[in-house]
Amino acid sequence: MALQRHHLSFLVIIISSVACQCCHGTALKDPLDLFDEGYSYVDDGGTFKDYIKQSEDVLSLKKFDNLGDDYRSPSLKMVNVNDYGAKGDGKTDDTQAFYKAWHVACSSPSSGAVFVVPQKYYLLKPITFSGPCKSNIAVQISGTLEASDNPSDYSKDPTHWLVFDNVQKLSVKGGGTIDGKGEIWWQNSCKTNKKLALTFYKCHNLIAEDFTIKNGQQIHVSFQDSVNVNVSTLTVTAPENSPNTDGIHVTNTQNIQVSSSVIGTGDDCISIVSGSKNILATNITCGPGHGISIGSLGARESKEFVSGVKVNGAKFSGTTNGVRIKTWQGGSGSANSIQFQNIQMDNVTNPIIIDQNYCDQETPCKKQKSAVQIRNVLYQNIKGTSASDVGVQFDCSENFPCQGIVLQNINLQHEGGGKAKASCNNAKLTYIGDVNPHCP
């Protein structure tokens, strides 16, 4: 099945300077009390409380019982790639052996199968593990998967390396390593030619846990058009100067939980883009990189939606951004019902930032009237240091101002000592408890 390709286009936007609009709240015990049908900044289509309840019900994903957690079970078919010709010497192309082994595992009876990658080094060209399969599949990666660094091997599809396509009830784990060998692509980086180290496409009921992904050609791991995903204990690494190497990328995916993971790359630690709903991220360590980003949204005047994002427990160290929402002018749609809480910022350049005038191009971007609406965003219990003078920045649209922005118990100091500042344009804000910095 053909995979969707996402090309980043370039718009022209001029960032305008407008007056700060701040609304100071009264003594509210619970910030979520703001997000009800009586709150003027919230439409009737959905509330923060509804999202919180839904996230607890849906995102408490269980470890699927029959995904091969017990590899010794006699009812499971064990499929070892070495038995199908894989050498595992790091030099021989093992792609065809992996294809053969996958076909056997995917065709196994309903009792389930385990696709075993032993503790060796396997050189792989682009490969797609296609479903649907007859049984549940557990992929046990104990060794290292290494990408071919020959660009000609990617001539048929220059946008993917490892793909799991339309595989249901899939578990990928085992403590191994996936190495994208991205150095040659970083030297000739082009954002419109994204290569992904690992892609899960149209996978439902997926577990991805306990392995390392490093040196992705560009994005390290992408969850695309998938439902019910549990990601945990991943280690994602690439040099700080590696271009466009997002750690975990979520697109058009619903009900995904990312927990207890360490991510340090040259781009966003976690990026969440259009069509994604009900995302829960907990216990995330981020740095280096560009922080956790929602967006960009609205490129090429597109209509895009993200809703129900909750980041609860994160530490950012030396990152360009902390928690960021970014949208292009000229787009439409919304980023709605978003919660950032219990976060530590250490020497972060932009700890809290909303940018509705995002412009990722060398030439200035022209000013446009339409924008992606940003509303119902809670920042709660965030502390630490800002590497820049401005610790809180809301640069929102004049025609579609940010609505329902709540800050509770914020304490951001300047890394060099003294207080950080806040810059707020066209944002309707409410403060609860001690908030520093806040708009004049």
Bridge partners, residue 402, by sequence: 427
Note whether 209 and 175 are within 8 A (CB): no
Give CA–CA dist 2/181, Å, rounded: 25
Given the residues 204, 220, 249, 290, select the one marked as catalytic: 290
Residue 246, CA distances (Å) to 23, 54, 160, 292, 315 in order: 35, 28, 14, 10, 17
Cα 319 to Cα 227, 266, 290, 316, 347: the distances in Å are 30, 10, 5, 6, 7
CA distance linking residue 168 with residue 166, whole number of Å: 6
CA 341 vs CA 77, 316, 332, 345, 384: distances in Å: 44, 13, 27, 12, 13
Q: Is 249 designated active site?
A: no
Q: Give which of 269, 378, 367 is closest to 316, Cα–Cα.
A: 269
Q: Which two tokens stand for residue 309?
A: 């994002």
- Cα 43 to chain centroid distance, Å, stands at 26
Active site residues: 290
